[in-house]
Amino acid sequence: MDSLNQNDQTSPHDYLKNNKKPLLMAHRGSRILGPENTFDAFDIAHQSQADVLEVDIRLSRDKAILVFHDETLERVTNGFGKITNHTLIQLKHFDAAYHFKTEDGEAFRGRYIRLPTLGELFEAYPDIRINIDIKDKNPVAAELLVDSISKASAENRVLVGSFHQTVIDHFRNIAPEIPTAASPKEVSQFYALSKIPIKASDAKCAALQIPPQFGWLNLSSKRFVNFAARSSLPIHYWTINTSDDIKRLLEAGADGIVTDRVDIALTVFQEMGFK
């Protein structure tokens, strides 16, 4: 389990330090309330007192960094095919809210809502923290992300994660000063360590961003939460959308809640004295 036996990124960092209250984290900008990963959704999140914008990134054909979740365009936009087959200029022509409707049935199609780049996001929100999930399997995405973060002087307000171990390993190698979330493999390893009566674990990740249940692993048990606390690893649970679940996890010791419903989360946070 050597991948958890390094201490590359456990130094205090503006994104994570001095968080006396749990973080309200807007998943894709609160994607049920607004078209996901767009400025419309990010604005809703910001107005709802979100502490963190959680976003996904993918590369265009000409290596621009787009804020976008899927590998292909069809589910979200009026475009077709893989995002990597299109240039930035081509992608900017697509309607990023083409299929979106609110729960009340309000459509956003035709409002000239476009896919944002990561650089545009940094510029629009110079002070808010941003959680970045690298969706590309190509390690080049990690290199371009480091450049973008550096250009925006955003090193102290981002946390980076990826489901792809080679990508997150490469990111850590070239930018050890920027905190990262544990990969799925590392979460499984950390869970195994939590079952052993040891004081704590040194980890090269700076946070655990996880669902309450990961396969057969109960990641919200008292034992697991306490072990994470002893290891100085905050836990951010995703994707939590009901008031009962949000309250239960906050009472269990969650350090952050990633949600599609910042409105519901804000109410719970206020009721519990966190906002």
Average pLDDT over residues 157-174: 98
> What count of Cα atoms within 13 Å lies in the side-chain half-sphere of residue 77?
25
Kindly tell me if the per-residue pLDDT of 181 is higher than 60. Answer: yes
> How many C-alpha atoms does 108 have within 13 Å on its Cβ side?
26
Cα 139 to Cα 11, 36, 82, 226, distances in angstroms: 25, 25, 18, 34
**How far, in whole angstroms, is CA 275 from its chain's centroid?**
21
- Amino acid 20: pLDDT: 81
pTM: 0.92
Residue 72 is classified by DSSP as: B
| Residue 3 CA to its chain's centroid (Å) | 21
Cβ contacts of 209 within 8 Å, gap of 6 or more: 131, 161, 181, 182, 235, 236, 238, 256, 258
**Whole-angstrom distance, CA of residue 145 vs CA of residue 243:** 34
Question: What residue segments make up the domains of the chain, in order of their start?
Answer: 2-270
How many C-beta atoms surround the C-beta of residue 230 within 10 A? 13
pLDDT at 1 over 70: no
pLDDT in tens, 218-260: 999 999 999 999 998 999 999 999 999 999 999 999 999 999 9
Render 204-219 in DSSP notation, one character per residue: SSSBEEE-SEETTEET
The predicted model gives 87-116 an average pLDDT of 98
The chain-wide mean pLDDT, for the chain, equals: 93
Question: What pLDDT was estimated at residue 13?
Answer: 64
Which residues, at least 6 apart from 44, have a Cβ–Cβ distance to it below 8 Å? 26, 29, 30, 33, 34, 262
CATH architecture under which domain 2-270 falls: Alpha-Beta Barrel (3.20)
For residue 7, pLDDT over 60 is answered with no
Report pLDDT for 11. 40
What mean pLDDT comes out for the span 195-200?
A: 74
Residue type, 261: R
* pLDDT at site 12: 43
